[in-house]
Amino acid sequence: MPPDIIRNIPPGTAIPEVVNAIIEIPKGRRSKFEVDKATGLMKLDRYLFSSSHYPGDYGFIPQSLAEDGDALDVLVMVNEPTFSGCLIETRIIGLFKMTDRGLNDYKVLGVPHTDPLFAEYQALADVPPHFLREVEHFFSTYKQLEGAHTESIGWSGRADALAEVKAAVQRFGEAHP
Protein backbone atom coordinates (compact mmCIF):
# COMPACT_ATOMS: atom_id res chain seq x y z
CA MET A 1 0.00 0.00 0.00
CA PRO A 2 1.84 3.15 -1.15
CA PRO A 3 2.12 5.96 1.43
CA ASP A 4 -0.08 8.26 -0.71
CA ILE A 5 -2.99 5.87 -0.23
CA ILE A 6 -2.70 6.22 3.56
CA ARG A 7 -2.37 10.02 3.30
CA ASN A 8 -5.44 10.23 1.06
CA ILE A 9 -7.76 8.34 3.39
CA PRO A 10 -10.00 10.91 5.08
CA PRO A 11 -10.04 11.02 8.89
CA GLY A 12 -13.68 10.00 8.99
CA THR A 13 -17.21 10.21 7.69
CA ALA A 14 -18.59 12.45 10.44
CA ILE A 15 -15.63 14.05 12.25
CA PRO A 16 -15.28 14.09 15.21
CA GLU A 17 -18.07 11.58 16.08
CA VAL A 18 -17.27 8.90 13.48
CA VAL A 19 -13.68 8.33 12.35
CA ASN A 20 -11.83 6.00 10.04
CA ALA A 21 -9.63 3.70 12.10
CA ILE A 22 -6.78 2.04 10.22
CA ILE A 23 -6.00 -1.11 12.20
CA GLU A 24 -2.35 -1.94 12.72
CA ILE A 25 -2.65 -4.52 15.51
CA PRO A 26 -5.60 -6.89 15.75
CA LYS A 27 -7.15 -7.72 19.12
CA GLY A 28 -5.34 -10.47 21.01
CA ARG A 29 -1.93 -10.01 19.36
CA ARG A 30 1.49 -9.46 20.90
CA SER A 31 3.01 -8.50 17.55
CA LYS A 32 3.46 -4.73 17.26
CA PHE A 33 2.72 -3.80 13.66
CA GLU A 34 2.78 -0.27 12.30
CA VAL A 35 2.50 1.41 8.94
CA ASP A 36 5.98 1.97 7.52
CA LYS A 37 6.04 5.66 6.56
CA ALA A 38 8.45 5.10 3.65
CA THR A 39 6.54 2.29 1.90
CA GLY A 40 3.02 2.37 3.33
CA LEU A 41 3.28 -1.34 4.10
CA MET A 42 2.50 -2.94 7.44
CA LYS A 43 5.81 -3.54 9.19
CA LEU A 44 6.56 -5.73 12.19
CA ASP A 45 8.03 -3.23 14.64
CA ARG A 46 8.59 -5.71 17.49
CA TYR A 47 6.99 -8.33 19.68
CA LEU A 48 5.80 -7.11 23.04
CA PHE A 49 8.30 -8.12 25.70
CA SER A 50 5.46 -8.91 28.12
CA SER A 51 2.88 -11.68 27.85
CA SER A 52 0.13 -9.06 27.48
CA HIS A 53 -1.93 -8.73 24.32
CA TYR A 54 -3.91 -5.88 22.81
CA PRO A 55 -7.44 -5.72 24.32
CA GLY A 56 -9.05 -4.47 21.08
CA ASP A 57 -8.15 -3.68 17.49
CA TYR A 58 -5.53 -0.92 17.68
CA GLY A 59 -4.49 1.61 15.09
CA PHE A 60 -4.71 5.25 14.12
CA ILE A 61 -6.93 7.90 12.61
CA PRO A 62 -5.57 9.00 9.21
CA GLN A 63 -4.93 12.69 8.61
CA SER A 64 -4.64 13.33 12.33
CA LEU A 65 -1.68 14.49 14.39
CA ALA A 66 -1.48 13.77 18.10
CA GLU A 67 0.66 15.70 20.58
CA ASP A 68 3.40 13.05 20.35
CA GLY A 69 3.91 13.74 16.63
CA ASP A 70 2.22 10.56 15.39
CA ALA A 71 -1.31 10.03 14.14
CA LEU A 72 -3.93 9.86 16.91
CA ASP A 73 -4.19 6.35 18.36
CA VAL A 74 -7.51 4.54 18.43
CA LEU A 75 -8.59 1.35 20.21
CA VAL A 76 -11.69 -0.24 18.72
CA MET A 77 -13.78 -2.63 20.82
CA VAL A 78 -14.48 -5.66 18.66
CA ASN A 79 -15.82 -9.14 19.35
CA GLU A 80 -13.64 -10.68 16.66
CA PRO A 81 -10.21 -9.34 15.68
CA THR A 82 -9.97 -7.95 12.16
CA PHE A 83 -6.58 -7.70 10.41
CA SER A 84 -3.70 -5.30 9.88
CA GLY A 85 -4.67 -2.69 7.29
CA CYS A 86 -8.41 -3.00 7.89
CA LEU A 87 -10.40 0.25 7.87
CA ILE A 88 -13.15 0.35 10.51
CA GLU A 89 -15.70 3.16 10.54
CA THR A 90 -15.55 3.88 14.28
CA ARG A 91 -17.91 5.76 16.61
CA ILE A 92 -15.93 7.56 19.33
CA ILE A 93 -17.08 6.95 22.91
CA GLY A 94 -14.19 7.83 25.23
CA LEU A 95 -10.56 8.80 25.73
CA PHE A 96 -7.78 7.07 27.64
CA LYS A 97 -5.14 9.56 28.75
CA MET A 98 -1.59 8.43 29.40
CA THR A 99 2.00 9.48 28.97
CA ASP A 100 4.72 7.49 27.26
CA ARG A 101 8.28 8.53 28.01
CA GLY A 102 6.96 11.81 29.38
CA LEU A 103 4.83 12.77 26.35
CA ASN A 104 1.04 12.75 26.15
CA ASP A 105 0.00 9.61 24.28
CA TYR A 106 -3.80 9.63 24.30
CA LYS A 107 -5.91 6.84 22.86
CA VAL A 108 -9.48 7.33 21.71
CA LEU A 109 -11.84 4.45 22.38
CA GLY A 110 -14.46 3.55 19.85
CA VAL A 111 -16.78 0.86 18.54
CA PRO A 112 -17.55 -0.25 14.99
CA HIS A 113 -20.17 2.28 13.93
CA THR A 114 -22.42 -0.15 12.05
CA ASP A 115 -22.04 -3.23 14.29
CA PRO A 116 -25.44 -4.00 15.86
CA LEU A 117 -23.73 -5.58 18.88
CA PHE A 118 -22.34 -2.13 19.77
CA ALA A 119 -25.37 -0.05 18.75
CA GLU A 120 -26.11 0.86 22.38
CA TYR A 121 -22.53 2.03 23.05
CA GLN A 122 -22.70 5.80 22.77
CA ALA A 123 -20.58 6.93 25.74
CA LEU A 124 -17.94 5.68 28.13
CA ALA A 125 -20.64 4.86 30.70
CA ASP A 126 -21.96 2.18 28.29
CA VAL A 127 -18.68 0.22 28.40
CA PRO A 128 -18.31 -2.56 30.96
CA PRO A 129 -16.08 -1.19 33.76
CA HIS A 130 -13.89 -4.28 33.70
CA PHE A 131 -12.99 -3.68 30.05
CA LEU A 132 -11.87 -0.15 30.94
CA ARG A 133 -9.70 -1.57 33.73
CA GLU A 134 -8.19 -4.11 31.30
CA VAL A 135 -7.29 -1.34 28.83
CA GLU A 136 -5.78 0.80 31.57
CA HIS A 137 -3.78 -2.13 32.93
CA PHE A 138 -2.51 -3.06 29.48
CA PHE A 139 -1.27 0.41 28.60
CA SER A 140 0.17 0.91 32.09
CA THR A 141 2.30 -2.25 31.91
CA TYR A 142 2.90 -3.33 28.30
CA LYS A 143 6.27 -1.59 27.98
CA GLN A 144 7.68 -2.28 31.47
CA LEU A 145 9.95 -5.13 30.35
CA GLU A 146 11.32 -2.90 27.58
CA GLY A 147 12.48 -0.41 30.21
CA ALA A 148 10.07 2.26 28.95
CA HIS A 149 7.90 4.22 31.36
CA THR A 150 4.22 4.80 30.73
CA GLU A 151 1.88 6.48 33.17
CA SER A 152 -1.89 6.28 33.26
CA ILE A 153 -3.73 9.55 33.68
CA GLY A 154 -7.15 7.90 33.42
CA TRP A 155 -10.34 7.93 31.42
CA SER A 156 -12.24 10.90 30.05
CA GLY A 157 -15.67 10.91 28.52
CA ARG A 158 -16.98 11.29 25.01
CA ALA A 159 -16.83 15.11 24.97
CA ASP A 160 -13.07 15.07 25.72
CA ALA A 161 -12.53 12.34 23.15
CA LEU A 162 -14.38 14.30 20.46
CA ALA A 163 -12.35 17.42 21.32
CA GLU A 164 -9.11 15.41 21.02
CA VAL A 165 -10.13 14.03 17.61
CA LYS A 166 -11.07 17.49 16.39
CA ALA A 167 -7.78 18.98 17.64
CA ALA A 168 -5.70 16.18 16.07
CA VAL A 169 -7.39 16.60 12.68
CA GLN A 170 -6.88 20.37 12.89
CA ARG A 171 -3.20 19.92 13.84
CA PHE A 172 -2.69 17.68 10.82
CA GLY A 173 -4.34 20.25 8.53
CA GLU A 174 -2.10 23.01 9.87
CA ALA A 175 1.03 20.87 9.47
CA HIS A 176 0.06 19.73 5.95
CA PRO A 177 -1.71 22.65 4.24
Q: Is residue 125 part of a domain?
A: yes
Q: Is residue 177 part of a domain?
A: no
Looking at 18-27, 95-104, 126-135, which range is the least confident one? 95-104
Q: Is residue 174 part of a domain?
A: no
pLDDT of residue 140: 92
pLDDT tier at 155, thresholds 50, 70, 90: very high
Q: Is residue 104 part of a domain?
A: yes
pTM (2 d.p.): 0.94
pLDDT of residue 170: 97
Nearest to 54 by CA among 25, 74, 34: 25
Q: Is residue 44 part of a domain?
A: yes
Q: Is residue 173 part of a domain?
A: no
Q: What is the DSSP letter of 90?
A: E
Residue 41 belongs to a domain with what CATH number?
A: 3.90.80.10
Is-contact 49 66, C-beta < 8 A?
Answer: no
pLDDT of residue 1: 44
What are the pLDDT digits (tens) for 46-98?
A: 998 888 999 999 999 999 999 999 999 999 999 999 999 999 999 999 999 99
- The rounded distance, in Å, linking the Cα atoms of 173 and 98 is 24
Residue partners of 84: CB distance under 8 A and separation at least 6: 23, 24, 25, 26, 33, 42
Q: Residue 118 pLDDT more than 90?
A: yes
Q: Is residue 64 part of a domain?
A: yes
Number of domains in the chain: 1
Is-contact 54 70, C-beta < 8 A?
Answer: no
- Domain of 52 in residue numbering reads as 3-168
Assign 138 to helix, strand or coil: helix
